[in-house]
Amino acid sequence: MKPYSYKNLFDLQGKTAVVTGALGILGKNFCRGLAEFGADVAVVDLDQQNTEAFAEELTDKYGIKSIGVACDVSSPESVASMVERVSEELQGINILHNNAASKSKDLDAFFAPYEEFSIDQWRDIMSVNIDGMFLVSQAVGKQMIKQGKGGSIIQTSSIYGIVAPDNRIYEGSYYLERTINTPAVYSASKSSVIGLTKYLATYWAPYGIRVNSLVPGGVQSGQNETFVGRYSNRVPMARMAQPEEMVGALLYLASDASSYVTGQQIVVDGGLSVW
């Protein structure tokens, strides 16, 4: 530990962070936050060219080391080679933000009513949203244990992992060029993230590896006015989140500011889950 200074609690210099789903609406903001506090960042997402381009942007803006790594988190081989490359090129891994989730390639199947929902679609989403968390935490956790210096793992859940959606808010919704809803597979996968987090928190506590969940509420990202209005009516703070508003909680969980916090959920939802 550095000499105790509250001002330095959030300092991430000398640490390497892996962020999965790094090119998404939230992922890019998470990477920027970690980089601004001094961490070297591995930008992990599906497309090589785009991860490299964003890594370059981070290096230019924040002066940290960053690499882009294409990785499908649902593939054990892909995850193993990602962890090997990051550990080598960025000298180990201290922070993992397990954040990737699938919006599905087949939106008709993804938004199908529960009664018609196919097992193929269910498995497809689970393979990223929860199998992916298992594979990446397993590979990175092993690496952290090998390094012997502890670490912090943050896994992104969702309010729909802790409360059920109010289906009335989707009437008249329009997003991703269609009417939307929150399918059960999403809720089930995001509840599982919390279960996995608690399990790993106790399992790896002896190694000084902390594991926590970040639980975002609905983020405004191009949904139509009807949906934004209906969603906001359910929220004590009467609005959706902006993507940047998720970053503070991540920095808290990633850094020594939360050195005695493990197995918890930080819910960033404007109070939605409170009433």
Ligand X SMILES: NC(=O)c1ccc[n+]([C@@H]2O[C@H](COP(=O)([O-])OP(=O)(O)OC[C@H]3O[C@@H](n4cnc5c(N)ncnc54)[C@H](O)[C@@H]3O)[C@@H](O)[C@H]2O)c1
- Contacts with ligand X by CB under 6 A lie at 20-21, 23-27, 45-46, 71-74, 99-103, 128, 132, 156, 158, 216, 218-219, 221
Query: Which is the catalytic residue, given 157, 189, 213, 258?
Result: 157
Catalytic residue status for 190: yes
Catalytic residue among 102, 190, 231, 258: 190
In angstroms, the CA 266 to CA 253 distance is: 9
Comparison of 165 and 216: residue with beta carbon closer to ligand X: 216
Using the minimum distance from each CB to ligand X, give the nearer residue, 28 or 210: 28
Closer Cβ to ligand X, 122 or 207, answer by number: 122
> Is residue 192 annotated as a catalytic residue, yes or no?
no
CB of 14 to ligand X, least distance (A): 27
Tell me the pairing of strands 151-156 and 95-98. Answer: parallel
Active site residue 105: no
Q: How far is the CB of 167 from ligand X (least distance, A)?
A: 17
Query: Minimum distance between the CB of residue 3 and ligand X, rounded to whole angstroms?
Result: 35
Question: CB of residue 244 vs ligand X: minimum separation in angstroms?
Answer: 12
Residue (71 or 180) nearer to ligand X, CB:
71
Catalytic residues: 157, 186, 190
